[in-house]
Each structure stands twice: as C-alpha cells, then as structure tokens.
Structure 1
Amino acid sequence: MHVLILGGTTEGRRLAELLVSAAGTRVTSSLAGRVAAPRLPPGEVRVGGFGGAEGLAAWLREHRVDALIDATHPFAGTISFNAAAAAASAHVPLLALRRPGWVASPGDDWHPVGSLEQAARVLPALGERVFLTTGRMGLAAFAGDPDLDRLWFLVRSVDAPEPPCPARMEVLLERGPFTLDGERGLLRRHRIDVVVTKDSGGAATAPKLAAAREAGIPVVVVERPPAPEGVPVASTPEEAAAWVGTDLAP
C-alpha cells in the first residue's frame, strides 16, 4: 500500500513513523518547502508543490497512491482544498489529520478574529507592544498603516521574514516547543502587552497562552479557515494510522 502524507507538521512526522513501521506500507511525505531546514520524517520525502489540484491528481495516479492524508498546518487552506479535489478526481480515499484547536480557559482575555487583517485592525485598541506569533507569512497585514506604525512588534518565526513587515519590529528566530517559564520571561523581558496568534492548536506553542493568562495580557486569536466539506477527520496520528490499517487494508 502506498500512502501519501501532505505533511510539514509534528503530526505528519509522527504518522509517517507509525506507518513506516507497518509491514507492506510505502510512505511518501510531501513538504511544501517553505522552511529552510525542515525536520524530515522517515520514509520517502518530496519537497515542493504539485501544480494545483490537477497536478496532485496526476501525481496520485502516476505513483499509484492508495490513500492520501492531509496532515498540513490547519491554516494551509489552499492545499487542503486541492487535496479534496485531487482525491475525488483520482478516486483515492482522503483523510484530514487535524490537531484540535485551543479552548479558552477561565481568566483568558481572548479576542477572536477571522483573519490577519482583522487582527491588525483590533490591535491599536489593545496594546502597544505586540508579540506576533503568526509566522513569517502574512506580515504585510501589519505594515503600511499609520495606526500600526506606532506599535512595536516582536515577531517570532522559524525563518527570517521578508518585507513588507511592520515598521517597528524585532525578529526572534526560534522553533518550538516552548516552555511556560520561557514564555513568562519573554513577555516580561520585552514588556509585551498584547499577543497575536493563530489557532494552530497543539502543545508545542500553547505555553504562550498560559503565560498571557497569568499576566492578564489580551490575546488576539485568528480562527481557523473552514475545511473542505465531506472529508473525514482524525485528531491524532494514531487515529489516522488506524484509518489506514482498518479502513483501507486490502
């Protein structure tokens, strides 16, 4: 059985580990190539795009893929819809592997928004020193506005961002997981008074939410984009591996 994992996430790597150890299973992980030095999963690895839904469907047919698992980041919306269209075209079963989103706890001061642009609009009323943890993509939403130019941004990402960027910005190049003590110290050291994050879920970057709660700092949370309709969803790599073994075994 040949399984193609659209990966680049912790869950995608864990799923590859589980499937590679299963007898009779060939695993190929596809990475988008947006990170300079990604953590490679076991099994076969390809890097780069497919050329849209049609290109992915052609790849599925050419490489005789028996199952497609979309384990991309919850905010990688385009590839998820391409995967749904390609799987339908190539008649390949598709599963989405999505870590659960975060849930607010008592004491949290969360401000949900639907996009980075909406996050930028609410920021000036919430604080002046911003901890921006949405990654290096999409920083243009926080640039070029006089109301935002007076704010100071601490931008944390794995790789260095490219312009356009906020006018007043310091870049922190780090890769999770992060600790609660580390996040407490970061907020205190940089005098952060508002945090911006995407609802990516998972434990690796969640400590910033607990640190913000303790410090009474508001958090602007960008909600996840809608997922393709009709695609079954697993919340853990173990569930996804069971789907392959149980539902698709010859």
Structure 2
Amino acid sequence: MRVLHIEHFNNGWMNPVLAFGLSFIGSVLGLRCAVHAKTSSTPLGWLIAAAVALGGAAIWVMHFTAMLGFSVDRVPIRYDVPLTLLSAVIAIVVVLIGLTIVTGGGNERVTLPFGGAITGLGVAAMHYLGMWAMRAQIVVEYDPALAALSLVIAVVAATAALWFMLHVRGLLMTISAALVMGIAVCGMHYTAMAAMRVHHGAATTEVDGVTPVQLLLPLIATVSLVIAGLVIVVGLAELEVAGENRSASELLLRTEGGVMSSTDPATLADSGKQWPRLPN
C-alpha cells in the first residue's frame, strides 16, 4: 500500500504563524482571567472564562487553524461537524477541570502534576478526536514513538500552563508565559501531526462532512466574538483593579508616619478607622 505525501504547510508559513498568534492571544487572556479568579470572591466565572480562552482559543482554534495548511496528495478532506464540536467541548472542559484542581487549595506538589496530567491527556484526546473527525479516502496510522512523545509534550505543556496560572502576576510575566505556552501548544500539535502515516483508502463516490474553509469561517466569527467579549471583560477588570490600586496609593500618600490628616474626611471615612487629629 503506497504511502501518500502529507503537506503540513500548504499555505507556507501563514497557517503556523496565525495558529501561534491565536494560541498566544488565548493564553494571555486565559492567564489574566486566572489572575482575577485568584482575587475574586466568585472565582468560578473567571475560571470558566480562563478555560474558554485557553482550551477554546489557545488550543482548539490553534489546531484547526493549523489544519488549514494540511493536505494529502490533493485528496479532498472534509470534517464531521459533531465530532469536531465535541473536541472543542473536551478541550474547554479538561482545562476547567485542571484549573479547578490546582486552585482548590490542596498541596501544589500533588494537585499540579495531577491536574496537569488530566489536562494534558485531555488536550491530546482533543487533538486525536479532531483528527478522527477528518473524512477522506485515506487510511491514517500513527508512529507509536512520535504519538507517545506528543502525549508527553501535552502533559508537560498543560502542567506548565497551570503553574503559570498559579504564579504569574504582572503583565510582562503574562506575555512571557503566553509565548512559552503558545510554543508548547504548537509543538504538541506538529509533533502529533508528524506521527501521521497516510495510505490510500477504499474508494467511495462521496465523502460526507464540511470542507476546512466551511468549518473555519463560522469558527472565526464565533471565536472573534468570544475573544472580543473576554478582552472587554478582562479590560474592565484590569481598570477596576488599577483604580483600586490608585486609591490605595493616594491613601498611603496622605498618611504620614501612621497618622492621617483630619482635613480629609472622605478619606478618613473610606478608611473605616478613627485616626488621631494632627496638632494645630
């Protein structure tokens, strides 16, 4: 059975660069949502937003954006829509499970590797389910060593992502962490794709499913709306935090040696404390 040629960069570097860019943006949003989850009195909403940003945009959308550059000897390729959507649900749910485990207050030495393993294996399941959703007149096999390596990369990348979500604070560190996460996610994807071996399949008159472009166009519209919504929500939260920090700084500047001026009753009332008057 003749092995068919696989092309992963059918559109040059456009698809991998775009895929990395989307993974980076999703990682930045996911990390910022995780930061707000740690300080919020109702963290579940922020954790769900982080799971959507990381599992949905940084991982799932990255996968199918990269797949636009995939071709097999001019064989028509289609995708099963229900299985493709199921792979998106898996990506988001496993990230949410991992986040819930590591933010649950347990021993990090236990919860981090446990959550990372569940999340990483779930991400790998998303990838291979997404590949299984592919419909074409071909037979797909995988090199066991490279497939196993892709699982290892997925677990390590997921563990690193969860660690970043626990420890990253500032914007510069968030950007640096998102760059690492984007490289790791793309590395896992292309390692798994390198494990593929494709042969001619049974001839059929028709292959069911939608084309990659038909799949991606509504996907881009949906994800763009979700990302725009997350950017607005995160931006408003960042502005609120900045305002609180500015108020705290002003309060500190008005305090001298632990004594607050009595000429500022508004600040005195906000402090909730009875400060002694300064001598006239």
* TM-score, L = length of structure 1: 0.28
The structure whose residues are more often strand, as a share, is: 1
User: Which has more radius of gyration?
Assistant: 2
